[in-house]
């Protein structure tokens, strides 16, 4: 049964130094507030797993939380490169970053295998690419029925998955809709899971196309309205495209980034992800955690 | 790196990027399903859907099948894609059920480097994987799009930095090292059928698979294309000049561009 906790308590309890952590959300429902809380609690040596380590992992990598990145596309969507990711890979700043690189199809199938309790997944993929040379866990496998040679990739089994969803009920059942990405698979593949939500309601109203994660498949739920910003929560907010564009200049330079980290993460409360979170926390008498 | 140079023909003016986008849109046929990446491929696919191909099916890797965005998305997962899609499926599903079996007719890809066999690099620049000169975003959906779509179209600006003798990293396979290579590797799609640039259009030679210049855009000559190619460029005997963008194509394209990343 998923119990409802504060975001700060959820991160403190579930995310440990050295863990493999998967924060998922494919453009939509990216758990930024939880990512910032991981930074605030100064977790270290994490293996960060994510198909598209966009701005959220650029922030975690720049803050020095990660030892390794497992991913398939590391850019700022529609904008360009991730400067903190580049700096960590090329210059080892602030700490060296090991990478394990796949394709989207490979990563998606690795989560499916993890969620399915299988040791590996099979797909038509990677053949002829240099990813096979760069990444040691992409291997050929022969179909026992047809003899055809396909590709095998190992299951992903993160220690903890963190996702953001539209809502949960008081029992901890989670409901999300719109672009649902690979979040269900990430939660089911992981040992522990933390779901932040826009709202907690008495009863989950039926919603077309919704994915429901039953409470017994989730470890902890935390209320974090606006917690996907600058990503978005379908039905609650829209993607803050200007933020993604402005991230390019903020992240390009180590000092500018460090200042951003200080004012926008360390000096803010864990309650919500939006720009007003510190004000909101101040207004309601909550103390910032850092 | 927006190509700002305007090319004038009969008082009609357009940028090299606009010509490239229009040429890419024309390569899509009505009723096809197209796997769309962000950037110029997305702009071109949306232009095609608003002009000659109203029944073009846009598939984005975020799992939005049949998206009909009113505004040009900034990312492959903008809300407008989900709101207007025929179906929204999970990411494992879009790759396993829709892309992998070859259900999506055309894959539209970009490139940081491309070689004469249309092999594509979007991973890194440099010769040391662990210590790259420039680290690029990586593979995303491209390797399996290049492998599984029945047809692949590449859209990329042409320069000697991009059109290289050897790509530093093969992220997505084009025609490998030549004829028969895709079949030997078990890749089911036919591979890149054309590479559309800001200077012209290249197509693989049916015998050798080597990219051969088939079209130059209006105002561009062969020497200019040669100078922007990092290998000895082959030119088709029946080299043609691309039909200039029509007033309608330009008007619709500019209207679209103005909506990029905007809230519908």
- pLDDT tens for each residue of B62-98: 999 999 999 998 888 888 899 999 999 999 999 999 9
pLDDT digits (tens, 9 = 90+) for B184-199: 999 999 999 999 999 9
Neighbouring CB atoms inside 10 A of A115's CB total 20
Question: How far apart are alpha carbons A275 and A268 in whole angstroms?
Answer: 9
Quote ipTM for the complex. 0.93
Identify the domain containing residue B187 by its residue range.
Answer: 12-257
Q: Are residues A63 and A127 in the same domain?
A: no
> Which B positions 19-38 lie with beta carbon below 8 A of chain A?
38
Q: What average pLDDT does this structure show over A59-68?
A: 98
Q: How confident is the model at residue B264 (pLDDT cuts 50, 70, 90)?
A: low
Q: Which residues contact B85 (CB under 8 A, 6 or more apart)?
A: B64, B65, B66, B67, B68
pLDDT for position A270 = 63
Q: Are residues A263 and A135 in the same domain?
A: no
pLDDT for position B4 = 47
Identify the domain containing residue A270 by its residue range.
Answer: 3-102+157-283
Query: Closest approach of chain A CAs to the CA of B10, in angstroms?
Result: 34
Q: Is B139 within a domain?
A: yes
Q: Is B262 within a domain?
A: no
Nearest to A179 among B88, B170, B171 (CB): B88
Q: Is the pLDDT of residue A290 over 50?
A: no
Q: Which of A145, A153, A103, A149 is nearest to B185 (CA)?
A: A149
Q: Which residues of A touch B148 (CB under 8 A)?
A: 124
Nearest to B138 among A101, A112, A133 (CB): A101
Domain count, chain B: 1
Q: Is A252 within a domain?
A: yes
What value does the CA radius of gyration of chain B take, rounded to a whole number of Å? Answer: 18
Q: Tell me if A123 and B144 make a contact (CB, 8 A cut-off).
A: yes
pLDDT for position A286 = 38
> Between the CA of residue B246 and those of A125, B12, B145, B174, B215, what are the distances in Å?
40, 9, 31, 31, 17
Q: Are residues A61 and A139 in the same domain?
A: no
For chain B, give the mean pLDDT: 93
Q: What average pLDDT does this structure show over A118-143?
A: 97
Domain count, chain A: 2
For residue B246, how many C-alpha atoms fall within 13 Å in the half-sphere facing its CB? 9
Q: Is B16 within a domain?
A: yes
Of residues B18, B61, B144, B151, which has the active-site annotation? Answer: B61
Least CA distance to B169: which residue of chain A?
Answer: A130
Q: Is A171 within a domain?
A: yes
Q: Are residues A133 and A86 in the same domain?
A: no
Pairing relation of β-strands B151-155 and B192-196? Answer: parallel
The pTM of the full predicted model, rounded to 2 decimals, is: 0.93
Q: Is the pLDDT of residue B131 over 50?
A: yes
Question: Within chain A, how many helices (H) and strands (E) appear?
Answer: 10, 15
Q: What average pLDDT does this structure show over B223-250?
A: 97
Q: How confident is the model at residue A67 (pLDDT cuts 50, 70, 90)?
A: very high
CATH of the domain at B221: 3.40.1080.10
Burial call A85-99: b when 16+ CB within 10 Å, e when fewer? bbbbbbeebbeebeb
Q: What average pLDDT does this structure show over A258-265?
A: 96
Confirm or reject contact between B177 and chain A (CB < 8 A).
no
Q: What average pLDDT does this structure show over B42-71?
A: 95
Q: Are residues A67 and A190 in the same domain?
A: yes
Q: Are residues A68 and A193 in the same domain?
A: yes
Q: How confident is the model at residue A54 (pLDDT cuts 50, 70, 90)?
A: very high
> Which B positions 105-124 lie with beta carbon below 8 A of chain A?
123
Distance between the two ends of chain B, CA-based, in angstroms?
A: 27
Q: Are residues A201 and A229 in the same domain?
A: yes
Query: Closest approach of chain A CAs to the CA of B241, in angstroms?
Result: 31
pLDDT for position B260 = 83
Q: Tell me if A148 and B186 make a contact (CB, 8 A cut-off).
A: yes
What are A192's strand-pairing partners?
A160
Q: Are residues A235 and A270 in the same domain?
A: yes
């Amino acid at each position: 049964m998923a119990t409802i906790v504060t975001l700060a308590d959820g991160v403190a309890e579930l995310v440990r130094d050295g863990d493999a952590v998967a924060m998922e959300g494919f453009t939509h429902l990216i758990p930024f507030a939880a990512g910032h809380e991981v930074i605030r609690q100064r977790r270290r040596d994490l293996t960060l797993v994510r198909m598209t380590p966009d701005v959220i992992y650029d922030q975690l990598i720049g803050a020095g939380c990660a030892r390794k990145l497992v991913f398939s596309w590391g850019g700022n969507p529609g904008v360009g490169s991730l400067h903190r990711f580049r700096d960590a890979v090329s210059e080892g700043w602030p700490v060296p970053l090991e990478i394990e690189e796949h394709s989207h199809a490979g990563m998606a199938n690795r989560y499916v295998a993890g969620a399915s309790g299988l040791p590996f997944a099979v797909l038509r993929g990677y053949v002829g690419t240099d990813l096979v040379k760069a990444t040691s866990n992409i291997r050929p496998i022969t179909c026992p029925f047809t003899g055809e040679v396909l590709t095998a990739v190992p299951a992903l089994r993160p220690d903890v998955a963190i996702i953001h969803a539209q809502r949960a009920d008081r029992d901890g059942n989670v409901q999300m809709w719109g672009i649902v990405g690979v979040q269900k698979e990430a939660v089911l593949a992981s040992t522990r899971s933390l779901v932040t939500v826009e709202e907690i309601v008495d009863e989950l109203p039926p919603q077309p196309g919704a994915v429901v994660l039953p409470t017994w498949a989730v470890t902890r739920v935390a209320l974090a309205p606006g917690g996907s910003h600058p990503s978005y929560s379908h039905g609650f907010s829209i993607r803050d495209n200007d933020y993604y564009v402005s991230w390019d200049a903020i992240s390009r330079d180590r000092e500018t980034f460090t200042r951003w980290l200080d004012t926008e993460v360390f000096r803010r409360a864990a309650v919500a992800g939006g720009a007003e979170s510190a004000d909101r926390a101040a207004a309601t008498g909550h103390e910032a955690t850092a | 790196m927006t190509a700002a140079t305007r090319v004038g023909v009969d008082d009609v003016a357009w940028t090299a990027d606009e010509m490239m986008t229009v040429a890419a849109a024309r390569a899509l046929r009505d009723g096809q399903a197209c796997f769309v990446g962000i950037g110029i491929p997305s702009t071109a696919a949306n232009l095609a859907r608003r002009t000659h191909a109203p029944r073009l099916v846009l598939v984005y890797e975020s799992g939005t099948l049949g998206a009909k965005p009113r505004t040009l998305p900034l990312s492959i997962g903008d809300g407008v894609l989900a709101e207007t899609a025929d179906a929204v499926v999970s990411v494992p599903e879009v790759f396993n059920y829709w892309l992998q079996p070859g259900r999506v007719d055309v894959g539209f890809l970009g490139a940081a480097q491309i070689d004469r066999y249309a092999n594509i690099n979007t991973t890194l620049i440099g010769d040391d994987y662990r210590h790259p000169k420039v680290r690029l975003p990586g593979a995303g959906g491209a390797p399996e799009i290049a492998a599984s779509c029945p047809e692949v179209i590449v859209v990329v600006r042409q320069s000697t930095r991009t059109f290289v003798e050897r790509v530093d990293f093969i992220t997505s396979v084009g025609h490998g090292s030549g004829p028969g290579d895709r079949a030997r590797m078990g890749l089911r799609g036919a591979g890149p059928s054309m590479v559309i640039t800001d200077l012209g259009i290249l197509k693989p030679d049916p015998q050798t698979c080597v990219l051969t210049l088939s079209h130059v855009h209006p105002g561009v000559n062969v020497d200019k294309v040669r100078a922007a190619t990092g290998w000895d460029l082959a030119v088709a005997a029946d080299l043609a000049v691309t039909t200039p963008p029509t007033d309608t194509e330009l008007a619709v394209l500019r209207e679209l561009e103005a909506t990029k990343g905007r809230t519908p």
